[in-house]
Amino acid sequence: MSRVPLRQALAELPAYVPGARSPVGAAAFKLSSNENPYPPLPSVVAAIADAAVDANRYPDMFATELTGALAERLDVPAESVVTGCGSVAVLGHVLTAVCEPGDEVVFPWRSFEAYPIAVTLAGAVPVRVPVAADGRLDLEALADAITERTRVVVVCTPNNPTGPAVHADELDAFLARVPDDVLVVLDEAYVEFVRDPHAPDGLAVYRAHPNVVLLRTFSKAYGLAGLRVGYAVARPRLAAGIRQATTPFGVSHVAQLAAVASLRASRELAARVEGIVAERTRLLTGLRSQGWDVPDSQANFVWLGLGDASASFAERSARAGVVVRPFQGDGVRVSVGEPEATDVFLEFTAAERVR
């Protein structure tokens, strides 16, 4: 047995629990991972195939073409864009770039379960702030939690797994209370699905506040979850530091070209996103008409706050043909899938109401 010691932090590190997969051979819809239910567009698949022939070569370490395309799309300088192996990895690079051991990172909870993992691995101290009963972030409580040791505050909007987006006025009030030397990470992994007219314009917030960094991803709306492409938008000095902390060659050549092709196909992808938003509305309306209490989701999933009944509900849902994601003690998250998946799940939940 090896006597090499492991970091003490690993003993306290919470495990990331991925969404369950459908059992082999089972006829079940997988609505447990917030994936786009549709495969990449044909033009994107063609780009993936073209890139595959260069798999013997290292990718462009700085993702130059993708970075330029994003900069043009977002109307920001190219030096403000930092790509990485999914927004989770980019968050880790952000924390590595700005946190010293013992610094505090404040984030909502329950929120994205990778937050405490990334914070702990960066050597920082996670500070969890409970979300409100309606699934919305309590931005006043987040601001109250800032101390002299706080280095970063994470704002997940829309919040994963509960769904609501923060509103522009409450975000402005929150940012007015955050010290200039505390970084605010605005995690917008689901921004393309937001239709709330009161939601903030993340890019406008970034332009108005030098201590704000945006996190975005190609995994959800763009349907590239399997290729792992995310990015940060930050002021050039911050972006340079984040870039220093990134894993060399972290975004594969295949992923880079697929992301560029996806940006070129934005109109077709936007139509798909509208379809998912419409299906989200149908799912929310169906659940509420059955008597379920569901927060106003602005993402590609909905939340049922079932508390201790979450695991048993998920087990019955899987047997009924829909695999969902339970967070035991809190609730169940259900991704928006194909219309057929919505049909099956609503049939199951209708039966659950009369159990």
Alpha carbon distance 158, 56 (integer Å)? 39
What integer pLDDT is reported at residue 336 of this predicted model? 98
d(CA 204, CA 200): 8
Crossing angle for the helix pair 86-98 and 236-245, to the nearest 10 degrees? 110
Compute the chain's Rg from CA coordinates. Answer: 20
Query: What was the pLDDT predicted at 28?
Result: 84
Q: Whole-prediction pTM value? A: 0.94
Q: What is the pLDDT of residues 33-84, one digit of tens each?
A: 999 999 999 999 999 999 999 999 999 999 999 999 999 999 999 999 999 9
Q: Which residue has the higher pLDDT, 13 or 336?
A: 336
E-assigned strands of 133-208? 150-156, 183-187
Tokens of 318: 């899987």
**What is the mean predicted confidence (pLDDT) over 256-278?**
97
Mean pLDDT of 164-190: 98
The β-bridge partners of 156 are: 187
Whether 230 has a pLDDT exceeding 70, the answer reads yes
pLDDT score at 355: 72
Question: Which band of pLDDT confidence, cut at 50, 70 and 90, is reported for residue 13?
Answer: confident
In sequence order, what are the beta bridge partners of 232?
Answer: 82, 215
Residue 331 has what DSSP assignment?
Answer: E
Domains and CATH numbers, the chain: 18-34+267-353 (3.90.1150.10), 42-264 (3.40.640.10)
Q: In terms of DSSP bridges, do strands 81-84 and 230-233 run parallel, antiparallel, or are they unpaired?
A: antiparallel
Residue 119: φ, ψ to 5°: -65, -45
Q: Exposed/middle/buried for 332, CB within 10 Å: 0-12, 13-18, 19+?
A: buried
Least confident of 23-32, 79-88, 126-135, 325-334: 23-32
